[in-house]
Structure 1
Amino acid sequence: MFKRPRTDFWQVGIVPLRVEDLDARRLSAVRERITWLPEAGRWRYLADPFGLVRGDVLHVFVEAFDYRIKRATIERHEFDLADLSWRRQATVLDKPFHLSYPQVFEHDGDTWMVPESYQAGEIALYRATDSSLNHWERECALLGGIPGADASVIEHQGRWWMFYTLVGPGARDQRELHIAHAPALVGPWTPLATNPVRVNREGARPAGRPFVGRDGVLTLPVQDSTTGYGGATRLLRFPVLTPEHVEIAAGTERLTGDLASDSHTAGLHTLTGCGDYTLIDVKRIDRSRAKQWLDWKRRLRRMWGG
C-alpha cells in the first residue's frame, strides 16, 4: 500500500488586533472577526503575509505558490478598510526561482521589500518604482553567497538588524537563527561571530516582522516546528542586542491554527504586525492521491522539456 502524499495548503487572514497585543486568548476571542483572503484556486495557496496601510487600503503582500510548477511568485492584494472588502490583486514579482516571505516596509521616502530568494543564493533588497506598488527593482544584495531564508529586518537603537535562517541538510532552516547587523539599510551587513545565536526547533526560523513590544524590548515571531513545519509560532524577546552580545528570552506560549480557524488547524507560521492589524496564515493538510498524478505530470513535462 502506497502512503498517501501530504500536501500543505495555507490561508491568509487579517486579525483586528495589534501584534503587540496578540496572544492565544485574544486570538481565539476574535476568530469570528478575522477576514480571510479568498482561496487561491486549485493546487495553489497564499502564505507569508506582510502589509502596508495607505489611507483606507491595506496592501497585503503574499507568497503565491503553485504546486503544478513547485514555485511561487509575490502577489499584492488590496483590502478596503472602509467597507471590509477585497478589491484587486496583482503579481508584483516573478523570477525564475522561488520567491516567498515578502517583508515590505517604508524607509527614507521609499518602499522596500526583502523577499526570500534563497534559490538565487542571496538575501536581496528590492525597491518599489511606482506608487501602485506593482513594480519592483532589485536594489542590491544585502548578504550574498548564502542560502538565506525568511530574512526579517528592523532598524533598532541606531542600527539595522537582520534575523534569518539558512537552508541546509537536516532541516537546518527549521532550527537555526542567525543575526546580521549594519549601519544602514543597504549595508554593509555583518553576520554575528556567534551565529547561530539559537538552535532549537521550538523557535528559531523567523515568522514575521520584528517589532518593539510595549515594554520597549525587541521581539521576533519565530516558527515552532516541533510538530512539523510551521506548526505554530512563538515569540523571542531580545532584552540585550548588540554586535558583541545577544540575550534571548523565549516565550512559552504557542499560537496555533486551531485558535483562528476551524478548517486550517494544522499550523500557523506567520505573525506580522501592520498598524492596528496582524496578518497570519494557517494551514490544512490534504491527503489526496491526486497529488501523485500532479507530480507525475510535472516530471513528464520536465522530461520532455515542456
Structure 2
Amino acid sequence: MYLPAKQKNKYDLWSIGIYCGDSPFHLGPAPGVQNPVLTREHVSDVPAVFVADPFMVRSGDLWYMFFEVLNWRTDKGEIGLATSEDGLAWKYRQIVLAEPFHLSYPHVLRWKNYYYMIPECCRTGSVRLYKAVEFPLRWSFAGTLLEGPHFVDASPFRFKGKWWLFTETNPNEKHDTLRLYHAGDLSGPWVEHPQSPIVEADPRAARPGGRVVVTGDRIIRYSQDCWPDYGTRVRAFKLMHLTTAGYAESEAEESPVLSPGGTGWNAAGMHHIDVHRMAGGRWLACVDGWVKATEQAASENHAEVA
C-alpha cells in the first residue's frame, strides 16, 4: 500500500488472513485456519513493520502468495513470497523484489505461460510491468504501461479479448478517483476509456481493493472503502456494461464484503481481497486487516535482521 504523508508518524500493523465461502460476495474465516496466517513475525530476511496487499496464484502443486513487506530499515515496501500446499497453511520464503522506491500491491497474473507482476510504485509516477525470469523468485522490469503524476493499485484483467485496467489517480491522496484504461496487449499501448474517470469524489468506491473477478460475462471489482478512514472495509461492484465506448456498474447488494471484526488482527479495518474459484464451486481468498499501533510499537517488531 502507498502510505499517505499524513500517516508517516505512525505505522498501523497489517497482517494477512485466509477466508473462504460459497461466492465472491459471501466470505469468512476459513474453518480450521488460525488467522492471521502471515504477520511481520514470519518475515525472516528483513525487519518487517507489517505485511499487506496479498495476491496469490497456483502453479503445479503449490500456491504462491506475493505481498507487501514494509522494511523497517529502509522505510520502503518490498515484495515478499510465501507458499502453501493447500492454500490454508502458509510458509514465508523471502523477499523476491526490491527497488530503490516503495513497492506494494503486487498484482501477479499468468498470461501465455509467463508470470507477470504489476506492483504499485506510484512514487515513480508510472505503472510498471515485471516479468518472471525464474518464477517465483526472480523478476525483471519489462516495461512502463502508464506514465503520469499518480497511479495507485493498478488492477488489470482480461475480458472479451482485451485488457482492462483500473487505477486510482488523485494526487492529493484522497483515494477518490478511479480511472479505467484498455489495451489490445498487456504491454500496451493503453488508452483511457471515454467515460473515465469512472468514479470521482467518492473515497468509498474509487481505490481498487484487489483482483478483479471475471467468470464468463460476470465482472466484479472490489474497492477499498476509505471513508471515514483509509483501510476501513472492502466493497464489491458488479460491472453491468463494459465496452471501449461504454461503462456501467452497480454496487452489489452484499456489499461491503469485508469489514472490521472483533478485537484481534482485523479489529480496525480490512482493505484487500484476492479471491479464487475452487473445485466444487467454493471460493478461497487471501485478505488483509489491521490494528492501530504507534511507531514505537512498530519498532518493537524484532531485532535487526542481518
Whether TM exceeds 0.5 here: the answer is yes
The match for 1:116 among 105, 116, 120 is 120
1:99 has 2:106 as partner? no
Confirm or deny: 8 A CA contact 1:177 1:205 kept in the other structure: yes
State the 1:149 CA deviation: 0.8
TM-score, length-scaled by structure 1? 0.83
- In structure 1, the partner of 2:288 is 281
Structure 1 segments of 4+ aligned residues over 6 angstroms from their partners: none
Q: What secondary structure, in the 3-state scheme, does the structure 1 residue paired with 2:208 have?
A: coil
1:168-226 CA-to-partner distances (Å, cap 9, x unmatched) read 11x33x11110000011111100123321112112110010101257x32111101111
CA RMSD of superposed structures (Å) = 2.5
Confirm or deny: 8 A CA contact 2:67 2:104 kept in the other structure: yes
The match for 1:138 among 138, 141, 164 is 141
1:9 has 2:13 as partner? yes
Q: How do residues 258-277 of structure 1 correspond to structure 2 at under 5 angstroms?
A: 258-259=260-261, 262-276=264-278, 277=284
Change (3 A) 1:271 1:146: same
1:147-177 CA-to-partner distances (Å, cap 9, x unmatched) read 21100001101110000011411x33x1111
The match for 2:82 among 69, 77, 80 is 77
Percent identity over the alignment is 25
Q: How do residues 45-194 of structure 1 correspond to structure 2 at under 5 angstroms?
A: 45-81=50-86, 85-131=89-135, 133-169=136-172, 171-172=173-174, 174-194=175-195
Change (3 A) 1:288 1:122: closer
Q: What secondary structure, in the 3-state scheme, does the structure 2 residue paired with 1:119 have?
A: helix
Aligned partners of 1:147 and 1:176: how far apart in 2? 11
Confirm or deny: 8 A CA contact 2:51 2:69 kept in the other structure: yes
Aligned partners of 2:223 and 2:161: how far apart in 1? 23
Change (3 A) 1:261 1:62: farther
Aligned partners of 1:287 and 1:192: how far apart in 2? 41
In our comparison, the structure showing a higher alpha carbon Rg is: 1
Confirm or deny: 8 A CA contact 1:233 1:268 kept in the other structure: yes
Tell me the amino acid that sits aligned with residue 57 of structure 1. L
Aligned partners of 1:168 and 1:105: how far apart in 2? 27
1:246-274 CA-to-partner distances (Å, cap 9, x unmatched) read 10112352234434873321111111123
Change (3 A) 1:289 1:60: closer
Aligned partners of 2:100 and 2:64: how far apart in 1? 24
119-128 or 193-202, which deviates more: 193-202
Confirm or deny: 8 A CA contact 1:256 1:265 kept in the other structure: no
Tell me the amino acid that sits aligned with residue 36 of structure 1. P
TM-score, length-scaled by structure 2? 0.83
Aligned partners of 1:34 and 1:177: how far apart in 2? 35
- In structure 1, the partner of 2:205 is 203
